[in-house]
Amino acid sequence: MPTNKRERIKKALPRTYRLVQARDKGICRYCGFPGECLDHILPYWYTRDDSVENLVVACMKCNDIARDIVFPSFEAKKDYVLAIRREQIMDDLPPDSASL
């Protein structure tokens, strides 16, 4: 049985990771590409919230864009990330998806 908060969080995060990955089907909630990490909708430094409700699956590129910025909503954060990623996403698309 964990004795302090840090130990409880360390033990809970793998489960949280699995829950969020399953909910989001392993897809970045910003760009739609496969996501390998989790992103806090509201930064951890701001809320200290590691709950499933404050986490989304993100690819590393999208996760890096909005690093410690506080947004009023997930949609505002997504709009910001996609505005910056737009050209990167076009470069990442496979050649056969050019008609999209």
CA distance 35 to 21: 8
Examine residue 52 and state whether it is found in any structural domain, yes or no.
Answer: yes
d(CA 88, CA 92): 6
Judge whether 99 lies within some domain.
Answer: no
Structural domain of 81: 5-92
Tell me, yes or no, whether 12 lies in a domain.
yes
* Residue 100 located in a structural domain: no
The answer as to whether 98 is a domain residue is: no
- Using CA atoms, how far apart are residues 62 and 41, in angstroms rounded to an integer? 12
Do the domain assignments include residue 97? no
Residue 78 lies in a domain: yes
Distance from C-alpha of 19 to C-alpha of 22, rounded to nearest angstrom:
5
| Residue 14 maps to a domain | yes
Tally of domains within the chain: 1
pLDDT (0 to 100) of residue 5:
43
Residues 26-64 have pLDDT tens digits of 999 999 999 998 999 999 889 999 999 999 999 999 999
- The Cα–Cα gap between 16 and 52 comes to 6
pLDDT score for 90 = 73
d(CA 84, CA 20) in angstroms, rounded, equals: 24
Average pLDDT along the chain: 84
